[in-house]
Amino acid sequence: MSPGRRLLGLLACMTGVHACTEVGTDPDVPVALEIDAPMLPAIAEGDSLRDTLGAIATITARALNSRNEVIPSAPIRFYALRNDSAIIAVDSLTGRVAGLRAGDADVVAQVAGLQSVRLPVRVTSSPDTVYAFSPLVDTVRYAIADDTARPLRVEVARRDTTADGQDTLRLVPFWRVRYTIIDPPDLATNTDTTRVYIANDANRLSRVDTTDAVIGASRRIRFPLAAVSDTTRRAFVTEVVVMRPDGTPLPGSPILFTTVIRPR
């Protein structure tokens, strides 16, 4: 086929696709398909996709008509991409996803000739312990120009046995870790960064982290100048919670960090 005819063929295909999606006002004909990301960063190997409370969750998607309305009865189906079937198993009818082995995979939704964007899904090792890496009790001595933030680092791991029979701990990446200042309790949901708050490395308010395979999870308790100038409170307790896949606390959770702040 000549290049000119090939181009005409492509234009004809594009015109055909456009014609298929120009369906007027028929409310039952989908023209777009949206797919939602999972609530958690990963599925535990040997387990199913879950929500933050530990309940079994599913991949969800919506078919939209030309008026951008959801079509409730659209027969949406879900699939793992061909090369990912060794990592995840997907129930095409319900969108339930099982993690078969650690790795990265993609899920798509399909309906009436439409396909969603690829949705990344990770499978990671199932953790069985969490422990503190930062000191459980830390004292901050400050002057006006000091950075008074202190790291609160934990490691989420799985006990394993090496080839030579030695017990070891392997860090588990992509696992959710939640930080909360529980004493004084009024700081638990604080969003005012002129008061004591939980921050990421950029000093932005952030109470949830996702582990990696090198340093685990880390957030900082930060003491702005207005807070260190206030002599009425000198000890702060941060609770770090890590859950099993089923929503029960992981062994070692919760971890309590106590940070005391004092002038130099």
Same domain, 176 and 56: no
Same domain, 57 and 145: no
Same domain, 156 and 171: yes
Per-residue pLDDT of the chain (264 residues; tens, 9 = 90+): 444 433 333 333 333 333 334 445 788 899 999 999 999 999 999 999 999 999 999 999 999 999 999 999 999 999 998 778 899 999 999 999 999 999 999 999 999 889 999 999 999 999 999 999 999 999 887 765 556 788 999 999 999 877 777 888 899 999 999 999 999 999 999 999 888 999 999 999 999 999 999 999 999 999 887 666 665 668 899 999 999 999 999 999 999 999 998 776
CATH number at residue 134: 2.60.40.10
Task: Decide which of 78, 96, 124 is a domain's last residue.
Answer: 124
DSSP letter at 165? S
> 167 lies in which domain range?
129-263
Task: Decide which of 103, 124, 145 is a domain's last residue.
Answer: 124
The C-alpha angle 76, 81, 84, rounded to 5 degrees, equals 130
Same domain, 136 and 257: yes
Same domain, 79 and 164: no
Domain assignment present for 1:
no
Give SS3 for 200.
coil
Domain count, the chain: 2
pLDDT at 19: 35
Domain assignment present for 18:
no
Paired tokens of 186: 């009024």
Paired tokens of 154: 């934990």
Same domain, 151 and 238: yes
Same domain, 257 and 137: yes
Please give the Cα distance from 37 to 61 (Å, whole number): 9
Same domain, 134 and 118: no
Domain assignment present for 14:
no
CB count within 10 Å of CB 2 equals 7
Same domain, 140 and 245: yes
Same domain, 114 and 221: no
Give 68-96 as a DSSP string. Answer: S-B-TT---EEEE-GGGTTTEEE-TTT--
Same domain, 119 and 136: no
User: Tell me, what amino acid is at 103?
Assistant: G
pLDDT at 5: 38
pLDDT at 18: 35
Same domain, 84 and 186: no
Judge contact between 54 and 60, C-beta under 8 A.
Answer: no
Domain assignment present for 17:
no
CATH number at residue 65: 2.60.40.1080
